Amino acid sequence: MSPRRVCPVCGSTEFIYDPRRGEIVCAKCGYVIEENVVDEGPEWRAFEPGQREKRARTGAPMTLMIHDKGLSTDIDWRDKDIHGNQITGMYRTKLRRLRMWQRRMRINDAAERNLAFALSELDRMAAQLRLPRHLKEVAASLYRKAVMKKLIRGRSIEGMVSAALYAACRMEGIPRTLDEIASVSKVSKKEIGRSYRFMARGLGLNLRPTSPIEYVDRFGDALGVSARTKKRAKEILNEAIKRGITSGKGPTGLAAAALYIAALLEGEKKTQREVAEVAHVTEVTVRNRYKELVEKLGINVPI
């Protein structure tokens, strides 16, 4: 209903919709504002979630994670009919033959075959990194755009898929390092970096540098520090960013050093090795960033 609607009798803006009669009536005086309203919902009723699922006649929503966007027919692998009864004999053989031809017909040419392979790789990598579904959709969208602009030609599919996933992580504020992407990819860190730069130029991606603050929660959870320590680390990094100390330095090393300092200040002592392992940096990097932050911010760290 439009919020501008007003009852012509009493001037009220509160209305009640009666789905059985298809009428909209005034909540105060009962005047019928509109009648014969078309109900756009289903014609059946459901009294529990299981019943609703059984009576629904629509499939899964459209997704970019499947090469045909999930719009084609999919024959279930279970040999059962709509009532859950087992299909046997001649019909079972016929169903298996139909299923085989359906799989073949869903992929028409080499381009679709490559896209299907790329999206399956993307799904595998994202699952191993425990990334959310919406991020996978963003990565799939980036890869499809790269295919449309013919950026994939002459490059490895695995490298471009890894680059799309890395870019999507940065776009959605859920950053993952190149080392983390490379750990689940079939190509090297160097190849992923090269593919990412090529994709960013080709698609015109203007991504801001990753902030070290975005890594604090994840690294802090892995270290098992308190929320107070993570908050203190973010305060240290915010001050460092204001003073321009973070310019030109790796965000993971800065986040690790800030967490190390915050843990010392809050009495939750962690070793530099523990922090370095979580952040996938060397102990030397943690030590150097620690010294810079302590000296330039004037932090008194308890020994």
Q: Are 299 and 261 in contact (CB under 8 A)?
A: yes
Q: Are 237 and 296 in contact (CB under 8 A)?
A: no
Q: What angle do CA 233, 235, 240 make, to 5 degrees?
A: 95
Q: CA 6, CA 2: separation in Å to the nearest integer?
A: 9
Residue 169 annotated as part of some ligand binding site: no
Token look-up 């799309």 returns 164
Q: CA 234, CA 220: separation in Å to the nearest integer?
A: 11
Residue 29 annotated as part of some ligand binding site: yes
Cβ partners under 8 Å of residue 246, min gap 6? 212, 237, 240, 254
What six digits make up the tokens of 198? 């090529």
Q: CA 68, CA 128: separation in Å to the nearest integer?
A: 24
**Identity of the residue numbered 48:** E
Residue 7 annotated as part of some ligand binding site: yes
- The DSSP H or E segment spanning 26 is strand 23-26
Determine how β-strand 32-34 pairs with β-strand 23-26: antiparallel
What six digits make up the tokens of 91? 């019909």
Q: CA 99, CA 75: separation in Å to the nearest integer?
A: 6
Question: How large is the C-alpha radius of gyration of the chain?
Answer: 28
Cβ partners under 8 Å of residue 105, min gap 6? none
Which residues contribute to the annotated binding site?
7, 10, 26, 29
Which residues contribute to the annotated binding site for Zn(2+)?
7, 10, 26, 29
